[in-house]
Structure 1
Amino acid sequence: MTIKIPTIAELKEKLSLPKPWDIVVIFLLNILIAIPTFLIAHQNLIDLEWIIHLDRIIIFIIILVIIQLLLRLVKTIIILIVFLYLIALLYGTLFGNYGFNRVFEDYRYMVYSMSETPNPQDIIVAKLLPFPNKSKIINAVDFANPKVRNFALSATTKHFKEFRQTGDRRRMIQCFAVFKEIRNRWNYVNDPKGREYIAYASESLQHFSGDCDDHAVLMAACIKAVGGTPRIIHTGGHLYPEMLIGNKNDLETAIYLIKEELFKQESHNQQIHYHIDERGQIWLNLDYTATYPGGKFMSEEILGELTFN
């Protein structure tokens, strides 16, 4: 029995679609490819902050046109391209970090953040001034103390446990859970008159009381205890904690989670406040005066910062 090997022309004919379905499939495939491509471009290109995000609209249109032209060039094997694209997303969904769900979530976070008005502050130059009581504060942030670790763990089981995420997003949500638990329980109490008293984080867990530096120490220790990166900001007469969010893409995720999932009531019609450091990293305000992560700054004067990597 003779096996007939199809020619290239015959293969192209079998893999091509009849008109007008080829046009429809090319358009749908264009949209499917353009969205993740645009997300990558959006995350890595400088935001020109044009009115109604016109720069992003132009970028998306350019990507659509380029992909449309490329797909028309290879339309004779369009079925194979569709199959390979779906296989790639399916593999990412099952075994990797980027699949159908991640594309949908990234797009949703991006669109939502573009409709919001966050409130970034000026870039902070590290080590502006010597940090007051630096060694005492570093020692007080005893994140490895079992009491601190266990409290932080209990906060993550008490709040937002139903939100199933992985990796950096799970860590972000767990840090927000720590913020919520401390914020709900904190009672502001002044230091003894004429004395600067800095309580260890494990000590503050007994009564959840103290002044701004005690709160900053406790928050920083608990954030650190669940894998986050905190820092404490010095403004002269006030100390407050911040947590590292990451890059612009991570900020979009944080904004959506805060305003639409985790702190919807507290952040209603409110802005998200954060700082951008000299390396372009974004830090979210966690002061005790804020009712949600990224609440309004109590003091905007920056004299120094102390990071706990």
Structure 2
Amino acid sequence: MTFKNPKIILLKKKLSLPKPWDIIVIFILNILITIPLFLIAHQNLIDLDWILHLDRVIIFIVLIVLIQLLLRLVKTIIILIIFLYVIILLFGTLFGDYGFTRVYEDYRYMIYAMKENPNPQDLIISKLLPFPNKSKIIAAVEYNNPKVRNFAVAATTKHFKNVKKSGDLRVMIQCFAVFKEIRNNWNYVNDPKGREYIAAASESLQHFSGDCDDHAILMAACIKAIGGTPRIIHTGGHLYPEMLIGSQKELETATYYIKEVLFAKESRSQQIHYHIDERGQIWLNLDYTATYPGGKFMSEEILGALTF
């Protein structure tokens, strides 16, 4: 015969919820717990590249089933669990780097990357260190803004218009035209002292001035606006843009056009600098310090990457 402490029984009653609210609250809490856990799994597990991202769907379903079972086992103290969950995320928001905002940003970026990003493994790179001002930078890359689109289109009619091209080669050469136009007009200007100022792409178009992150944002927005695939690299104290070229074969084509047709003078006796990602995809440096696509890196270190 067992005896239960009346105080413990009373405490459990206070920490439990009446039916059917317990089922509803457990399901909501399950979703709130599953999302950050799924994001961690998504960022650190190899992407099997299944159709419709079915591997990620299976991971999400497995997590939600396991957490649902676990929460049902401890439903008598469900209010305490909710309280602890909120405290953990609140602590992360105020004192750490993973809180309510980070969960929302990571989930939004993951969904965006699954739909748009040809190189989803970049998400693994971007988590080596928190990407500085990530949400502001994503918002500033206004590739759908008519001013940004019109500027990029105008650059393609100003430079290399008579070079014969079609398909992916045409996109690449037009992106090089955008690089040339921005590079020819860019004026480096520091941020206000003691403050990080993030200029939107449309804002930078007014005077073609700003620091490295403003240049990277404008370049990425313009390249994306005309069908290219850019990414912004974080090196610690510097941000710069890169452009997806593709395979080794596409790199050979790009090298020929850069050195023999489009930037022969600027690239004479110079090397083409690029990064190879986890999928073997090649990205050319488009930093403001480079006088031609694939110019020398200001810093080769990669601490984070945002692909658009």
Q: TM-score range by the shorter chain?
A: 0.5 to 0.7
AA partner of residue 140 (structure 1): A
Change in 2 beyond 3 A, CA 1:283/1:179: same
* Amino acid aligned to 2:264: K
1:130 equivalenced with 2:138 (yes/no): no
Gaps of 5+ in 1: 1-122
Against the structure 1 CA distance between its residues 124 and 291, is the aligned structure 2 distance closer, same or farther, given a 3 Å change threshold?
A: farther
User: Could you say which residue in structure 1 is the equivalent of 2:294?
Assistant: 294
Q: Which structure 2 residues correspond to residues 1-309 of structure 1 after superposition, within 5 A?
A: 126-127=125-126, 128-308=128-308
CA distance in 1, matches of 2:307, 2:186: 23
Instruction: Give yes or no for contact 2:123–2:306 (8 Å, CA) kept in 1.
Output: no
Q: Give the CA deviation at 1:125.
A: 5.8
Equivalent pair of 2:125/2:303 in contact (CA under 8 Å): no
Q: In structure 2, what is the Cα distance between the partners aligned to 1:125 and 1:149?
A: 30
SS at match of 1:132: coil
Q: Report Cα offsets for 1:45-72 as digits up to 9, x if no partner.
A: xxxxxxxxxxxxxxxxxxxxxxxxxxxx
Measure, in 1, the Cα distance between the counterparts of 2:123 and 2:271: 20
User: Do the aligned residues in 2 keep the contact of 1:125 with 1:278 (CA within 8 Å)?
Assistant: no
1:161 Cα deviation from its structure 2 partner: 0.3
Instruction: Give deviations 1:61-109, integer Å, cap 9, x for gaps.
Output: xxxxxxxxxxxxxxxxxxxxxxxxxxxxxxxxxxxxxxxxxxxxxxxxx
Give the C-alpha shift of residue 126 in structure 1: 1.8
The offset of 1:300, in angstroms, is: 1.5
Partner SS state of residue 125, structure 2: coil
Pairwise CA distance, 1:200: 0.2
Query: Could you tell me how far apart the structure 1 residues matched to 2:153 and 2:257 are?
Result: 20
Instruction: Give the aligned residue type for 2:266.
Output: E
CA distance, structure 2, for counterparts of residue 174 and residue 227 of structure 1: 9
Change (3 A) 1:229 1:208: same
Counterpart of 1:158 in structure 2: which amino acid? Answer: K
d(CA) in 1 for partners of 2:216, 2:162 = 27
- Take 2:277 and 2:256, find their aligned partners in 1: how far apart are those partners? 22
Which blocks of at least 5 consecutive residues in structure 2 are unaligned? Answer: 1-121
- Distance in 2 (alpha carbons) for counterparts of 1:213 and 1:189: 11
- The ranges of structure 1 where at least 4 consecutive aligned residues each deviate by more than 4 angstroms after the TM superposition are none
- Cα distance, 1:302 vs. partner? 1.3
Residue pair 1:272, 1:296 contacting (<8 A) in 2 also = yes
Identity in percent:
82
With structure 1 as the length reference, what TM-score do the two structures score?
A: 0.59
The CA distance in 2 between the partners of 1:301 and 1:294, in whole Å, is 15
- Check the 8 A contact 1:259/1:268 in 2, yes or no: yes
Using the TM superposition, give the Cα deviation of residue 170 of structure 1 relative to its aligned residue in structure 2, in angstroms: 0.3
Equivalents in 2 of 1:302, 1:219: separation in Å?
18
Question: Structure 1 CA distance, aligned partners of 2:297 and 2:123?
Answer: 14
* TM-score, normalising length: structure 2: 0.59
Question: For the Cα contact (< 8 Å) 1:124–1:302, is it kept in 2?
Answer: no
User: Residue 262 of structure 2 aligns to which amino acid in structure 1?
Assistant: L
Tell whether the 8 Å contact from 2:175 to 2:226 is kept in structure 1 after alignment. Answer: yes
Q: Output the CA distance in 1 between the equivalents of 2:216 and 2:125.
A: 18
Distance 1:125 1:300, change over 3 A: farther
Distance 1:267 1:138 in 2: 31
Distance 1:148 1:255 in 2: 27
Distance 2:204 2:197 in 1: 12
1:124 CA displacement = 11
